[in-house]
Amino acid sequence: MKIKELARLAARWGYKWSLWPPHLVTACCGVETGYLFGPAYDAERYGVLPMPGARHSNLLLIEGTLTMKMAKFVKWVYEQMPQPKFVIAMGACSIKGGVFYGSYHMVPASNVVKVDLYVSGCPPTPEAMLKAIEELQKSI
């Protein structure tokens, strides 16, 4: 195995087990995300550790309703994140608008940033979020 290939494999392993999201709560899905990092589900065992700022993060969890005003902030946070970066849109509101579908102020997450995975539900369960994290890790 060449040194470059070995370094690439080591980097991918590091990205896979070091998914660090900033806590960006836009709606009720944030409550379920709180459970995700609690002792019952312990997302840290998967390498997911909440970060205080975007410049130290590589996973953006869009949790719920995304309004036009909040979409600008989400794009700003996304642009500050270092490469490689991943996005998970959680909840019916961030995917297609949920109960606010067709409303003038709602923006689907896919219109703002490139979304890697969608987690359906209103709000999605912590188990569904862990499953999405596992799927994302498999794709890295």
pLDDT digits over 53-72, tens only? Answer: 888 899 999 988 888 999 99
pLDDT digits over 10-25, tens only? Answer: 888 888 888 888 877 7
Mean pLDDT, residues 32-48: 87
SS3 123: coil
pLDDT, position 119 = 93
Domains of the chain: 1-139 (3.40.50.12280)
The burial of 89, by beta-carbon neighbours within 10 Å (0-12 exposed, 13-18 middle, 19 or more buried), is given as buried
pTM higher than 0.95: no
pLDDT digits over 82-127, tens only? Answer: 989 999 999 888 888 888 888 888 899 999 999 999 999 888 999 9
